[in-house]
Structure 1
């Protein structure tokens, strides 16, 4: 083989390997930052046609309504646990921190965190919906028929 052709082939091979490694690293980094959205029913029963359940340790977002009477607060720390539901099973959410002002029982929330048991999410962030009318389309479809508590009708201090 001609030395010049051999040198070109070497550079092309190095370039292909470099691009492959860069693409692989980029895909790996992106996979670490993807948070899939689940409803409590999808979390317990599986999502999609193949009913694939998330793995323990997976990062995700779970959205649903806070179950009445399920909020438990630790008086010594900022630890809070509560249950959320859509139309079926309940999922327990553990959170340490200050909850949003709009958080209350019967309201829709989205919790983002890591699944530590099949039905327990350790949340790093809890988002309470801020508009009475808006709800993510995926959640709205699952939540048809569930009683919604209007925050304007709840007396101050109730549900907190």
Structure 2
């Protein structure tokens, strides 16, 4: 093999190796930052395919805050509350300021680390608002721009 072909082969192999290493590192980084979503029932019993999160795994959990379950530490910003769906309850511990929409009976999504089988230490808590919420400005604009339909007598009788 002449030197020119050796040089091209070396360059091609280096290029293939570089692209492979780049793709491998990207997949590794994406896998490390992936947070799987669980409901409290899936967290305790496992997903339908049999997977259960391991202690120390980052995850997101979503459900309804159980009534009378919020406990606040008077000395700090630590808050503990239970979240449930249709099955078992899971305790969420959080240190920080909760969102304004957070309250008992409200849906939340918490992102954090699984401490034990039924406890999540959250780094972020997001409160969900109900689906019928509409900012006042948009509601006012909707009322101005859309007049109720007035039907003629023919339309009311269905003979138009």
Secondary structure, aligned partner of 1:114: strand
Q: 2:14 — aligned with what?
A: 14
Q: Runs in 1 of length 4+ with deviation above 3 angstroms?
A: none
Shift of 1:40: 0.4
Matched, 1:79 2:78: yes
1:1-160 pair list within 5 angstroms: 1-49=1-49, 51-133=50-132
2: CA distance between counterparts of 1:86 and 1:63? Answer: 8
Shift of 1:48: 2.8
For the 8 Å contact 2:108–2:128, the answer to whether it is kept is yes
1:79-116 Cα deviation digits (max 9, x unpaired): 00011000011111000001111111111111011111
Give the total of aligned pairs: 133
Shift of 1:56: 1.3
- Higher relative contact order at CA 8 Å, sep ≥6: structure 1 or structure 2? 1
Gaps of 5+ in 2: 134-160
1: CA distance between counterparts of 2:131 and 2:103? Answer: 13
Shift of 1:131: 2.7
Shift of 1:133: 4.4
Secondary structure, aligned partner of 2:67: coil
Give TM-score, length-normalised by structure 1. Answer: 0.79
The structure with the largest alpha-carbon Rg is 2
1:39-98 Cα deviation digits (max 9, x unpaired): 00011111132x110111111110001111111100000000011000011111000001
1:10-38 Cα deviation digits (max 9, x unpaired): 11111111111111111111112211111
Secondary structure, aligned partner of 1:29: helix
For the 8 Å contact 2:107–2:129, the answer to whether it is kept is no
